[in-house]
C-alpha cells in the first residue's frame, strides 16, 4: 500500500478589526485542510512571514502603522511568489492601482462572505502550486531526505515550488513503523511537502522491479523537473538500491542531484553547493519531528547538522550550504535558485 498525504494550506491572516477577524476565524476554521494563523497587526505578521512558510497571505488594507500594501511588499521581498489577498471595505480605484503595482493577487470586499473568502484562498493557493517548479525528493527511509536535502527542500517550498517527498519504506528496522510513519508525515508537513510513503521492506529494498515501479508511478503523477536522491557512494544497501532504481525511473527528468547521507562514503564528491542560510532552521524543525530517532542517532543532533552545513558552506562562500553530486542537469534549465 502506498499512502499519499498532502500538507495543509497554510494561511496567514492579518486583521485589526476584532469583528472582521472573528468572521475570518469562523470561515477558515471550518476547513480541515487549512492551517491558519491570525494576527491583529502588521508588526506581528512580519515576524511570522520571516520565520515560517505560507501558502496565502490575507491582510486588511487599512491598519495603523504599516498598512496591508506595505506588509504585502515586505512579504513579497521574502517570498516573491506568495499570493496576497487584500481586504478592504472600499476597493477604490487608487487602492486597486496601488495593489496591482504591488502585485497583490486579489481583493476581498467587506462584508466577508464565506464562499467568496474560501474560493479566493483556494484559487490563490492553487496559483502558487501551479507557478513553481515540480520537485521530487526520494529517500529509502523516514528522515533520509530531510537529513540530506532538508534545507534546500524548505527553500524550494518557500519559493512556491511544488514539493513531493517519496519515502520507499516505513523504516521498520529502525523503530516502530507506525510511529515512524506519523513522524514522516509531520516532517513533510513542516517542510511544506506532499508525502508519498511506500511499503517496501526495510534493509531489503531491491534496485529493480517494485522500487522502479514505485518511483515511476510517483514521477508519472508529479512530473518532476528536479529530483533529489541518495548517492551511489553509500554504505547502506537500501540507499544504493533507491539510487539505482531512481536513475532508471527518472531517465526523462531534466535535473537529478544526489545528496549526502550519514552513511555516505569518502567517494561522495559533490560538485554543486546550495546556500541554505534561509532554509537551515526549516530543516532542523523537520528533523525535530523524528522524535523516536533524535534521542538515539548522533547524526540527528542539531549541532552536528549545523556544523555539517557550516563546513559545506565554505565551498559556496556562504555561512551554510548543502552539497550535491550532479547526475544530470540539462542545458537551458535554471540552476537551483533557492
* Domain match, 266 and 164 both: yes
Full DSSP string of 81-92: T--EEEEES---
How open is the CA angle 295-318-79, to the nearest 5 degrees? Answer: 85
179/225 same-domain check? yes
Segment 273-317, tens digit of pLDDT: 999 999 999 999 999 999 999 989 999 999 999 999 999 999 999
The structure's pTM equals 0.73
Run of H or E including 47: helix 42-51
Q: What are phi and psi of 231, to 5 degrees?
A: -80, 155
Regarding whether 116 and 199 lie in a shared domain, the answer is no
Cα 150 to chain centroid, rounded: 9
Q: Is residue 155 part of a domain?
A: yes
Whether residue 1 is contained in a domain is answered as: no
Pseudo-torsion of CA 90, 95, 96, 102, nearest 10°?
-140
User: Is the domain of 185 the same as that of 196?
Assistant: yes
Mark whether 116 and 158 lie in a shared domain: no
Indicate the burial class of 54 (C-beta count within 10 angstroms; 0-12, 13-18, 19 or more): buried
Low-confidence ranges of the chain (pLDDT < 50): 331-337
Q: Compute the distance between CA of residue 251 and CA of residue 270 in angstroms, rounded to an integer.
A: 20
Residue with cell string 520571516: 50
Q: Are 139 and 166 in contact (CB under 8 A)?
A: yes
Residue numbers of the domain that contains 33: 9-129
Using the structure block, give the residue that is written with the C-alpha cell 533520509. 144
Q: What pLDDT score does 100 carry?
A: 57
d(CA 188, CA 94): 42
CA of 44: how far to CAs of 17, 41, 48, 51, 217, in Å?
Answer: 15, 6, 7, 12, 43
Residues 94 and 187 in one domain: no
pLDDT number for residue 282: 94
Amino acid at each position: 500500500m502506498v499512502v499519499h498525504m498532502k500538507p495543509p494550506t497554510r494561511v496567514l491572516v492579518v486583521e485589526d478589526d476584532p469583528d472582521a477577524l472573528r468572521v475570518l476565524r469562523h470561515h477558515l476554521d471550518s476547513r480541515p485542510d487549512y492551517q491558519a494563523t491570525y494576527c491583529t497587526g502588521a508588526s506581528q505578521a512580519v515576524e511570522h512571514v520571516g520565520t515560517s512558510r505560507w501558502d496565502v497571505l490575507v491582510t486588511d488594507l487599512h491598519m495603523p502603522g504599516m498598512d496591508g500594501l506595505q506588509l504585502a511588499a515586505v512579504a513579497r521581498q521574502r517570498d516573491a511568489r506568495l499570493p496576497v489577498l487584500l481586504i478592504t471595505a472600499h476597493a477604490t480605484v487608487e487602492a486597486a492601482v496601488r495593489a496591482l503595482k504591488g502585485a497583490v493577487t486579489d481583493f476581498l470586499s467587506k462584508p466577508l462572505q464565506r464562499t467568496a473568502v474560501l474560493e479566493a484562498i483556494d484559487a490563490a493557493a492553487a496559483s502558487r502550486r501551479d507557478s513553481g517548479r515540480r520537485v521530487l525528493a526520494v529517500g529509502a527511509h523516514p528522515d533520509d531526505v530531510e537529513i540530506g536535502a532538508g534545507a534546500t527542500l524548505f527553500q524550494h517550498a518557500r519559493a512556491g515550488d511544488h514539493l513531493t517527498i517519496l519515502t520507499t519504506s516505513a523504516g521498520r528496522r529502525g523503530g516502530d513503523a507506525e510511529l515512524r510513519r506519523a513522524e514522516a508525515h509531520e516532517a513533510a508537513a513542516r517542510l511544506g511537502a506532499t508525502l508519498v510513503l511506500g511499503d517496501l521492506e526495510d534493509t531489503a529494498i531491491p534496485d529493480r522491479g517494485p522500487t522502479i515501479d514505485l518511483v515511476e508511478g510517483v514521477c508519472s503523477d508529479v512530473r518532476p523537473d528536479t529530483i533529489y536522491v541518495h548517492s551511489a557512494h553509500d554504505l547502506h544497501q537500501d540507499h544504493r538500491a533507491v539510487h539505482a532504481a531512481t536513475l532508471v525511473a527518472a531517465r526523462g527528468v531534466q535535473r537529478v542531484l544526489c545528496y549526502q547521507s550519514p552513511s555516505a562514503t569518502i567517494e561522495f564528491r559533490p560538485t554543486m553547493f546550495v546556500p541554505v542560510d534561509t532554509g537551515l532552521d526549516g530543516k532542523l524543525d523537520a528533523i525535530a519531528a523524528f522524535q523516536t530517532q533524535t534521542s538515539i542517532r548522533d547524526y540527528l543532533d542539531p549541532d552536528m547538522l549545523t556544523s555539517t552545513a557550516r563546513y559545506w558552506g565554505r565551498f559556496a562562500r556562504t555561512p551554510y550550504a548543502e552539497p550535491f553530486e550532479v547526475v544530470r542537469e540539462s542545458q537551458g534549465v535554471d540552476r537551483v535558485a533557492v
